Amino acid sequence: MTQQALLSPEVVIQEFKSNGITHVVYLPDSETNWMYQLMEAEPSLDLIPVTREGESVAIAAGILAGGKKPVVLIQNTGLFESGDSIRGLALDCALPIVMLIGYRGWTRHGATPDSAARFTEPILRAWGITYYLVEHDGDANRISLAYQEADRTNMPVVVLVGDEYHGFNR
């Protein structure tokens, strides 16, 4: 089997640092453990674990209101869970919150048996949220593009992490 191109957690964290991220608001998914170990060791990042994802968008909104720069790190299942916070805070208050969303169920084949994947993009389109797809290190600068887009439009922007082989792991 050929080696798949991967998205390395070091590169993602470098993107956070070069965009001046101060706080990471997160709830884990199954592919992210290595990334958390690295983030914990990174002194420039304050980690905020939440009990459900609806909290994450509201906490990020408060961090922005207080003048710091958050990133939200959740799974697409958590995106569904956060609906009213995304609507009532991020969209209605025009807040440039960038969310990195683990794209559970995504495949490069298109068809997927996982409803989490099937509903992800239609919902983002319904909400009018701009999104980028990141699959491997070569795409990682789309995280920077997402921050530029969020700042330019004063709107939330999503980065879907569609690395079906590694997620945020090595």
Q: Which residues of this protein are in contact with another protein, per CB under 8 A? A: 22-23, 25, 46, 48-52, 54-56, 58-68, 70, 84-85, 87-89, 92-95
Question: Is the torsion defined by CA of 83, 150, 118, 25 positive or negative?
Answer: negative
DSSP 86-140: IIIIIITTT---EEEEE-TT--TTS--S-HHHHHHHHHHHHTT-EEEEE-SGGGT
Select 23 or 142, whichever has its Cβ closest to another protein: 23
Select 11 or 91, whichever has its Cβ closest to another protein: 91
Select 11 or 50, whichever has its Cβ closest to another protein: 50
Please state, in angstroms and rounded to a whole number, the distance separating the CA atoms of residues 119 and 31: 20
CB of 29 to another protein, least distance (A): 17
CB of 85 to another protein, least distance (A): 5
DSSP 10-67: HHHHHHHHHTT--EEEE---TT-HHHHHHHHT-TT-EEEE-SSHHHHHHHHHHHHHTT
CB of 17 to another protein, least distance (A): 18
Select 48 or 133, whichever has its Cβ closest to another protein: 48
Residues 6+ apart with CB under 8 A from 3: none
CB of 14 to another protein, least distance (A): 23
CB of 148 to another protein, least distance (A): 14
Select 52 or 170, whichever has its Cβ closest to another protein: 52
Residues 6+ apart with CB under 8 A from 88: none
